[in-house]
């Protein structure tokens, strides 16, 4: 639309940057910020401007482009190194303590003579989560946020997921150590840390991690954090810190206009939708949700893994999206964002299932604007698993359970999914679920469904399109010979065979895991009674996908997805400490009294909202 219909800020200033401005925290530590000020002829323009702030552990100097973008359009941009990273003082202990530092930084900016008194925050991943953390303290001058790919609770669905550890965070610690202040100051230490990260594929096999065994021993807070997340399994005081548990402080959370940006193949897909869903119901200010078919921060490309969703899926003006939001809520410009539908989602599907010119499967999709999430009119439909391997809305008949042997020495390899910070050990996105030398732990090129420890349940070929959009849950009745074990689930769109994919293409959509000791809640572990049958609920990541006519809906059940999740040793011993491994005999039940099923959010034709 033209500027007359959608007015907004335009480029009218030069920029002056003040580097490493000290920002005092309440404990006396000073954090370094680069401040980008509107200027003309190299002179700072007098006056007060709204502030756009990003707090990052990834070197604030890398935010030069963003800083200039906003400053040239009449904002002051404050790009800050978080505590203990790059030019900021203090010790870095990831995520947990970001709330007070963020609060102090917002209020510091608001008190400067160049600030109008309104502060907006931006950033993705760590920089998305630290926005939500500071918002739980409700800074008086926080006025708007754009939170990209951030968490709602790191114990629920990020560092841990339903009790299991996401090993990508161990990888993350080794990667971040290579750019620690200590490494940047000491070339010898940097070389040692880099050498360990270069062999990170070996380190993830050395679990439980032994204190002092790697070069991380030279960075006590980095190594301490790894040991903490490996061993703190229960949802207690450690995980209930504001920087981890945003959802524990929703009532106290700032009531400010916020966009939550996420992706179906992002590691924070569940957290992003959970934040929107909860806060849109208890806050009076506008809350918006934007979900694309993206991996972690991958909104600038049209593909996720080996699947392409078409050029329309690309968010090609991310800065423009944020500028419009801040123009409305920090400058008061009536540009119409508050009159738009609050939820915009990309519904995957309707492609040809053939290879495109980039040698990726063409799945395509379309954007849809709707009034809420989950979509109004969603029909939650149980699809039951059956002894013959079928998946259908029909209740199962009497049958013996499906059993398998879970050997923690031979876990099912991870092939795609909602992953961040996993490279070079694991890759995010959509892939054919078969062995491939690109993926860590694959010993062959056979389908994962061929493994004896993977149970496969799928529908017949669909006679018409079926849209599944919303949260996903699996109810399993299961037993184990072990006092503790894991159960994993994976939702798959099975594309029919064609000339490009003669054996079809099993596209992963969502997955999850449950550590059985936490079946009754994450606050306290309760070991299994071997052989007893338990009802388990496994919450998956949400998705939005059209299973086309001729496709199949498939659910895979197993007990490992490695190295996405740490492998359960099946001993029932202390998490992150037990060095023993035991084989488990696991079973899943599918009879009228124990009807294990996948609960699908089915969207009827005509109930999907506007497109």
Q: What is the DSSP letter of 282?
A: H
Task: Tell me which of 373, 407, 432 is where a domain ends.
Answer: 373
Task: Tell me which of 182, 198, 231 is where a domain ends.
Answer: 231
Measured distance CA(556)–CA(516) in Å, rounded:
18
Mark whether 260 and 227 lie in a shared domain: no
What is the band of 608 on the pLDDT scale with cuts at 50, 70, 90? low
For 15-146, where are the alpha helices, taking DSSP H only? 64-71, 98-110, 126-135
For residues 388 and 207, which has the higher predicted lDDT (pLDDT)?
388
Look up the CATH number of the domain holding residue 563.
Answer: 2.60.120.260
Mark whether 476 and 522 lie in a shared domain: yes
Residue 135 lies in a domain: no
The pLDDT score that the predictor gives to residue 393 is 98
Measured distance CA(548)–CA(496) in Å, rounded:
10
Mark whether 168 and 265 lie in a shared domain: no
Domain range for 556 is 379-603
Question: What digits encode the pLDDT tens for the residues 470-516?
Answer: 999 999 999 999 999 999 999 999 999 999 999 999 999 999 999 99
Measured distance CA(76)–CA(21) in Å, rounded:
13
Mark whether 263 and 359 lie in a shared domain: yes
Identify the sign of the CA torsion 40, 42, 45, 51: positive
Measured distance CA(81)–CA(87) in Å, rounded:
7
Mark whether 530 and 441 lie in a shared domain: yes
Asked if 570 and 508 touch (Cβ cutoff 8 Å), the reply is no
Please, which residues have CB within 8 angstroms of residue 295's CB and are 6 or more apart in sequence?
Answer: 263, 265, 266, 304, 305, 418, 419, 420, 428, 429
* C-alpha distances out from residue 151 to 131, 161, 226, 232, 384, Å: 10, 12, 19, 18, 31
Measured distance CA(56)–CA(79) in Å, rounded:
8
Measured distance CA(114)–CA(498) in Å, rounded:
62
Q: Does the pLDDT at position 611 exceed 50?
A: no
The pLDDT score that the predictor gives to residue 605 is 81
Mark whether 583 and 456 lie in a shared domain: yes
Nearest to 211 by CA among 584, 577, 593: 577
Q: Are strands 343-348 and 287-292 parallel, antiparallel or unpaired?
A: parallel
Nearest to 309 by CA among 362, 356, 368: 362
**E strand segments, 225-370:** 258-263, 287-292, 303-304, 307-308, 343-348, 361-362, 365-370
Residue 96 lies in a domain: no
What is the band of 7 on the pLDDT scale with cuts at 50, 70, 90? confident
pTM for the whole structure:
0.97
Which tokens is 173 given? 């610690």
Q: Does the pLDDT at position 4 exceed 50?
A: no
Mark whether 216 and 274 lie in a shared domain: no
Question: What digits encode the pLDDT tens for the residues 103-116?
Answer: 999 999 999 999 99
The pLDDT score that the predictor gives to residue 609 is 60
Residue 210 lies in a domain: yes
The pLDDT score that the predictor gives to residue 2 is 35
Measured distance CA(124)–CA(126) in Å, rounded:
6
Mark whether 493 and 573 lie in a shared domain: yes
Per-residue pLDDT, averaged over 198-205, amounts to: 96
Asked if 142 and 148 touch (Cβ cutoff 8 Å), the reply is no
Residue 321 lies in a domain: yes
Q: Are strands 115-121 and 142-148 parallel, antiparallel or unpaired?
A: parallel
Per-residue pLDDT, averaged over 208-219, amounts to: 97
Cis peptide bond upstream of 208, omega within 30: yes
Vertex 424 angle, CA 353 and 62, to 5° = 100
Mark whether 598 and 529 lie in a shared domain: yes
What is the band of 607 on the pLDDT scale with cuts at 50, 70, 90? low
Residue 318 lies in a domain: yes
Residue 28 lies in a domain: no
Mark whether 359 and 398 lie in a shared domain: no
Question: What digits encode the pLDDT tens for the residues 69-98?
Answer: 999 999 999 999 999 999 999 999 999 999
Q: Does the pLDDT at position 458 exceed 50?
A: yes
Mark whether 530 and 387 lie in a shared domain: yes
Averaged confidence pLDDT in the chain:
96
Measured distance CA(576)–CA(433) in Å, rounded:
29
Task: For residue 563, count other CB atoms closer than 10 A to its CB.
Answer: 27
Domain count, the chain: 3
Measured distance CA(34)–CA(63) in Å, rounded:
9
Asked if 367 and 345 touch (Cβ cutoff 8 Å), the reply is yes
What is the band of 610 on the pLDDT scale with cuts at 50, 70, 90? low
What is the band of 421 on the pLDDT scale with cuts at 50, 70, 90? confident
Look up the CATH number of the domain holding residue 262.
Answer: 3.40.50.1820
Task: Tell me which of 345, 373, 401 is where a domain ends.
Answer: 373
- Integer-rounded Cα radius of gyration of the chain: 24
Mark whether 547 and 431 lie in a shared domain: yes
Residue 121 lies in a domain: no
Which tokens is 520 given? 């009754």
Lowest mean pLDDT among 50-54, 225-229, 265-269, 422-426: 422-426
Nearest to 576 by CA among 159, 165, 94, 155: 165
Please, which residues have CB within 8 angstroms of residue 608's CB and are 6 or more apart in sequence?
Answer: 347, 368, 370, 375, 467, 469
Residue 11 lies in a domain: no
């Amino acid at each position: 639309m033209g500027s007359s219909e959608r007015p907004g800020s335009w480029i009218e200033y030069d920029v002056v940057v003040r580097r490493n401005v000290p920002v005092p925290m309440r404990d006396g530590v000073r954090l370094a910020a680069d401040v980008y000020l509107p200027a003309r002829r190299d002179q700072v323009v007098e006056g007060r401007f709204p502030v756009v702030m990003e707090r990052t552990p990834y070197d604030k100097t890398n935010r030069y482009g963003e800083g200039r973008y906003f400053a040239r359009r009449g904002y002051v941009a404050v790009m800050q190194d978080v505590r203990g990273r790059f030019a900021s003082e203090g010790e870095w202990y990831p995520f947990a303590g970001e709330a007070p530092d963020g609060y102090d930084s917002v209020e510091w900016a608001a008190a400067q003579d160049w600030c109008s008194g309104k502060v907006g925050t931006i950033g993705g991943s760590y920089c998305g989560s630290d926005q939500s953390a500071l918002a739980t303290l409700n800074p008086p001058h926080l006025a708007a946020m754009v939170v990209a790919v951030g968490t709602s609770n790191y114990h629920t669905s990020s560092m841990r997921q339903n009790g299991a550890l996401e090993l990508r965070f161990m990888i993350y610690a080794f990667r971040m150590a290579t750019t620690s202040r200590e490494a940047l100051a000491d070339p010898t230490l940097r070389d040692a840390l880099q050498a360990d990260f270069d062999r990170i594929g070996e380190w993830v096999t050395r679990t439980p991690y032994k204190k002092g065994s790697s070069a991380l021993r030279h960075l006590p807070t980095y190594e301490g954090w790894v040991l903490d997340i490996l061993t703190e399994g229960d949802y207690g005081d450690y995980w209930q810190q504001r920087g981890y548990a945003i959802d524990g402080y929703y009532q106290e959370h700032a009531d400010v206009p916020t966009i939550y940006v996420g992706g179906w193949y992002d590691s924070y897909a569940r957290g992003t939708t959970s934040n929107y869903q909860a806060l849109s119901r208890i806050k009076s200010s506008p809350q918006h949700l934007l979900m694309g078919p993206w991996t972690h921060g991958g909104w600038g490309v049209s593909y996720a893994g080996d699947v392409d969703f078409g050029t329309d899926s690309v968010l090609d003006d991310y800065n423009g999206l944020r500028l419009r939001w801040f123009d409305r809520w920090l400058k008061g410009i009536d540009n119409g964002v508050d009159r738009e539908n609050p939820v915009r989602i990309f519904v995957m599907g309707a492609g040809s299932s053939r290879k495109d010119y980039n040698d990726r499967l063409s799945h395509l999709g379309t954007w849809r604007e709707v009034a809420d999430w989950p979509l109004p009119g969603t029909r939650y439909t149980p699809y039951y698993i059956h002894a013959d391997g079928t998946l259908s809305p029909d209740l199962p008949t009497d049958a013996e359970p499906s059993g398998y042997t879970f050997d923690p020495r031979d876990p099912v390899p991870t092939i795609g999914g909602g992953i961040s910070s996993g490279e070079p050990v694991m890759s995010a996105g959509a892939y054919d679920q078969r062995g491939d030398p690109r993926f860590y732990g694959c010993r062959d090129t056979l389908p994962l469904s061929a493994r004896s420890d993977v149970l496969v349940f799928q529908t017949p070929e669909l006679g018409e399109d079926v849209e599944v959009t919303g949260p996903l849950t699996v109810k399993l009745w299961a037993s184990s010979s072990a006092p503790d074990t894991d159960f994993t689930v994976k939702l798959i769109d099975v594309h029919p065979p064609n000339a490009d994919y003669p054996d079809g293409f099993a596209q992963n959509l969502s997955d999850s895991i449950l550590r059985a000791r936490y079946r009754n809640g994450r606050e306290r572990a309760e070991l299994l009674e071997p052989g007893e049958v338990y009802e388990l609920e496994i919450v998956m990541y949400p998705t939005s996908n059209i299973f086309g006519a001729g496709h199949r809906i498939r659910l895979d059940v197993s007990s490992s997805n490695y190295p996405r999740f740490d492998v359960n040793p099946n001993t029932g011993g202390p998490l992150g400490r037990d060095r023993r491994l035991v084989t488990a005999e696991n079973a899943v039940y599918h009879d009228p009294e124990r009807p294990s099923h996948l609960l699908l959010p089915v969207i009827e034709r005509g109930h999907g909202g506007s497109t």
